[in-house]
Chains A and B, each alone.
Chain A
Amino acid sequence: MPTKQEVQVQQKRELESKDESTIPARVFLPTADIYESNDALNVVLEMPGVDKNSVDIRVEDSVLKIEGRLDFSKYQGLQPLYTEYNVGHYSRSFRLSSKIDQNKIAAELNDGVLSLVLPKVEEAKPRTIEVK
């Protein structure tokens, strides 16, 4: 009988930024999956604790930057007894190639998972060539 595959624990990676932050909260990299279909590039990020109003997605100079902010007011008055994972904001940037149509990027956030669809420009879509 095959054994069930158990999920492995990942420690959060901290963001290494050239700029210093003005607030004491730490920023971590959300885990990302990137996959490509014929029409688009898809980026899926895990940002638990972030809701739709706290996520900021922008494209500047062909750099896609995703930021998710946590609401720390929930943690007021809580005394930590036993901690295993770190808590902080999320931020990750990706450089986009010219094959992406930057105006048509779509995003959806469900249960802390942000799915971005980056459609390819027409010329970049694969074309099948028939042999006569």
Chain B
Amino acid sequence: MLQGPIVLRPASTLPWGAAMITFADPFDALLSLQRDLESRFASDWLEGTTTSRGPFPPINVFQQGEDILALMELPGIDKNELQIQAKANTIRVSGKKRVDYSNDVSVHRRERVSGDFDRTLSLPVQVDPDRIKAEYRDGLLALFLPRADSDKPRSIKIK
């Protein structure tokens, strides 16, 4: 019997024998991202490639079906100063982030970063460079990277 307010929790945390009502948890995708972030030091994905984890901008890479979606937080970027170059399995994002205030102001706090950035990301799958789409909205750069047809697994019939 559930007692008290109904709480959204994954089924695994409910005590054994409790009535399980499963809700579609809207934050499932987000929580799995956070778990993944916390365990990323154990991952060897992208190890030994030219990408380093330090440089700006931080990238989150997701899989959407067969294709890949890369998201980067780049608030306040001028699209004309943003360059995206794509090859078969690397993506390069470079540009300049400007934070300019006029000269006759006194700055009390400065937390925003600014400067040039140039980042290359290697992917473990081949993508089709001709079908790559990039969208920059509300400070979020989204790169949709469709998987190359040559890279998709083919099923083989047994005679």
Give chain A's interface residues, CB within 8 Å of chain B: 4-10, 23-26, 31-38, 42, 44, 46-51, 72-73, 75-88, 110-113
Is A46's CB under 8 angstroms from B75's CB?
Answer: yes
Q: Chain B residues near A75: list those with CB within 8 A.
A: 29-30, 33, 62
Could you tell me the distance between the alpha carbons of A85 and B38 in the complex, rounded to whole angstroms? 10
Instruction: List CB contacts (< 8 Å) of B94-119 with chain A.
Output: 97, 99, 101-102, 104-118
- Does any Cβ of A come within 8 Å of B50's Cβ? no
Task: Contact check, A86 vs B75: say whether CB atoms are below 8 A apart.
Answer: no
- Min C-beta distance of B109 to chain A, whole Å: 4
**Of B34, B68, B101, B139, which one neighbours A111 at CB under 8 angstroms?**
B139
Mark each residue of chain B from 45 to 66: 1 if its CB lies under 8 Å from any CB of chain A, else 0: 1100000011111111111100
Total number of A-B contacts with CB less than 8 angstroms? 171
- Contact status B76-A113, CB under 8 Å: yes
Docked-complex contact A4 and B115, CB < 8 angstroms: yes
Task: Return chain A residues, CB-CB under 8 Å to B53.
Answer: 84
Inter-chain contact A33/B73, CB cutoff 8 Å = no
Q: How far, in Å, is A69 (CB) from chain B's closest CB?
A: 12
Whether A5 lies near B116 (C-beta < 8 A) is yes
**A48-B139, A49-B73, A110-B76 given; A82·B40 CB < 8 A:** yes
- A24 B112 Cβ-Cβ under 8 A: no
Residues of A within 8 A of B112 (CB): 31-33, 44, 46
The smallest beta-carbon distance between B28 and chain A, in angstroms, is 8
Known: A23-B27, A80-B36, A111-B139. A35 touches B111 (CB 8 A): no
> Which residues of B from 111 to 144 have beta carbons under 8 Å from A?
111-118, 136-140
A–B Cβ pairs within 8 angstroms, 19 of them: A6-B56, A7-B57, A8-B115, A9-B54, A10-B113, A23-B27, A25-B30, A31-B112, A31-B113, A32-B112, A48-B75, A48-B139, A51-B137, A81-B61, A81-B62, A82-B59, A87-B34, A112-B138, A112-B140
